[in-house]
Structure 1
Amino acid sequence: MSDVKVERLLINYKTLEEFKHFKEYGNQELSMGEDLEDNIVENDSVSPFYGIYYGNNLIARMSLYRMSKRYDAYFEPPQDYLTLWKLEVLPNYQGNGYGERLVEFAKSYSLPIKTNPRINSHGFWEKMGFQKAHYDMERDLGENPLIWLPEGVNEQTRKD
């Protein structure tokens, strides 16, 4: 699995076409294709989308956004963190470690990570070291976030 490469995806119509092979799980989420379409400017735009190719086929993808500590409702003290969205591996490639590889790539930034797990995916996130977040209830967005902290980062429990 170490030879599997995570790539930043270009913001273009080829990537949009590749996204059509993926299926969304969870009614509350927007389609990554819609996100991509809204961000299409040109190939060299900074993309929040990452993926893994098998040959010429995109088989796994995620969105990864860096968030400023001024928007932090999840970590104490407030700090910059990553939001990992819409992790998905095509059905024929599931169970081969591609989702884990995407998460490990996100962890390589050594920033705290927040994600909103899809239905029936809590076991995967727990295996990857994520835990239920204690967060600012005043800013609750109807999410059930899970968080991961890099080694050496201590979180103080927030008062709910």
Structure 2
Amino acid sequence: MKEVKVEKLLINYKTLEEFKRFKEYGHQELSMLEDLQSNIVENDSESPFYGVYYGGSLIARMSLYKVDKKYDQYFEPQHDYLELWKLEVLPHYRGKGYGKSLVDYAKGYNLPIKTNPRVNSHGFWERMKFQKATYEMERDFGQNPLIWLPEGISERNTQ
């Protein structure tokens, strides 16, 4: 596979149309359509959305939010971290490294990453070196968050 380019997605109506292709595949719980619609202002708005294009079409996407260390209850010492949401690759393009490219892009920030994986995706996250969080904030109960730690940062103890 040739090198995959991850792009920051613009918040505009073209991106909104691209997102509709993902929703059509039945992943209602992963749809970022509502998020995008509420954020459309103009092309240069700060976007939390990233994607991979193939042949001019968006084929993989994710949301990536930076969380300030003052809200960190996962890592020791407290640290800014990324929250990776709604990673999705269109069915025809799965298993070809596009999801991995998105995760590697996020890892490139060299910050801890937290995600709440969707059902049946734990194998993917394990291959990406994510592990089950042993310390769960109250709001994460039932969601089984997974975390990835760059070198030199450890997970907070559960005591």
* In structure 2, distance between residues paired with 1:150 and 1:25: 34
**1:18 and 2:18 are equivalent in the alignment:** yes
Alignment of 1:8-157 (within 5 A): 8-23=8-23, 29=29, 31-157=31-157
CA 1:41–1:122: 2 relative to 1, 3 Å:
same
Aligned-residue identity in percent: 72
Contact 1:76 1:158 in 2 (8 A): no
* In structure 1, distance between residues paired with 2:51 and 2:15: 10
TM-score, length-scaled by structure 2: 0.91
CA deviations 1:99-156 (Å, max 9, x no partner) are: 0000000000000000000000000000100000022444545421000001232334
Contact 1:25 1:119 in 2 (8 A): no
Contact 1:61 1:88 in 2 (8 A): yes
Instruction: Compute the RMSD of aligned alpha carbons.
Output: 1.8
Shift of 1:76: 2.3
* In structure 2, distance between residues paired with 1:56 and 1:158: 46
Q: What secondary structure is seen at the aligned counterpart in 2 of 1:104?
A: helix
How many pairs align?
158
Gaps in structure 2 of 5+ consecutive residues: none
Please say which of residues 56-65 and 68-77 is displaced more in the overlay: 68-77
TM-score, length-scaled by structure 1: 0.90
Gaps in structure 1 of 5+ consecutive residues: none
CA deviations 1:78-117 (Å, max 9, x no partner) are: 2100000000000111110000000000000000000000
